[in-house]
Amino acid sequence: MLDALLSFAVVAGLLTIVPGLDTALVLRAAVSRGRGYAFATATGIGCGTLVWGVAAAAGVSALLTTSQAAYTALRIAGAIYLVWMGIGMVREALRRTDAAVVSAEDAGHRLLGAWARGVGTNLLNPKVGVFYMAMLPQFLPAEGNHVLMGIAMALVHNIEGMLWFTVIICAAGWARTWLSRAGVRRALDSLTGTVLVGFGLKLAAASNP
């Protein structure tokens, strides 16, 4: 069981550091709203990942790979959510003024909203569920409780993700004096929003597994 966990940890760790949607969200939160907001976002993403891992271990997310209708529904819902969130960020960046920056700082205290955004982004991405369904069986040992083992692997992935997000948040904190400039923040919001829209359109156009 220890060998299986270590092997999974290596693969999951490598995938964790590959830049993607989660990284963009956490980085944007760290620069625009501060460390607390960024950690709340990262925690929400981690909770969503843990839910997918537990669901895969229990066989629930197998529905996504066997039911075309279920996968399509979740994929379209996720795509709409990402595009909506991305457009909102771009619009906020285009109309942001110095007063809007102050308002954004105040909004940074709404940690529950940041957590919910992280959870929603992760849970509405069916690719995460498919990833767990594809990966977990390859590392589950023949003996032992598969559900508990799957949960343990999801926890390992979650811990790795939080460690990586901590590095990103701390690095953004050190550079925040420069990154906090209004022009840089508008550029970052525009870039992050565009990335979200791109992910959403890609998800909408993706074929079913």
pLDDT in tens, 120-155: 888 887 777 777 777 776 776 667 677 788 788 889
Closest to 41 (Cα-Cα) out of 114, 120, 121, 123: 114
In a domain, 71, yes or no: yes
pLDDT in tens, 186-208: 776 677 778 778 877 876 777 65
Residue 78: domain span = 2-8+28-205
In a domain, 81, yes or no: yes
E strand or H helix at 209: none
In a domain, 102, yes or no: yes
Q: Which two tokens stand for residue 110?
A: 């709404």
pLDDT in tens, 59-90: 765 555 566 776 677 678 767 877 877 787 77
In a domain, 23, yes or no: no
In a domain, 142, yes or no: yes
Please give the model's pTM, rounded to 2 decimal places: 0.69
How confident is the model over 16-32, as a mean pLDDT? 81
Give the count of domains, the chain.
Answer: 1
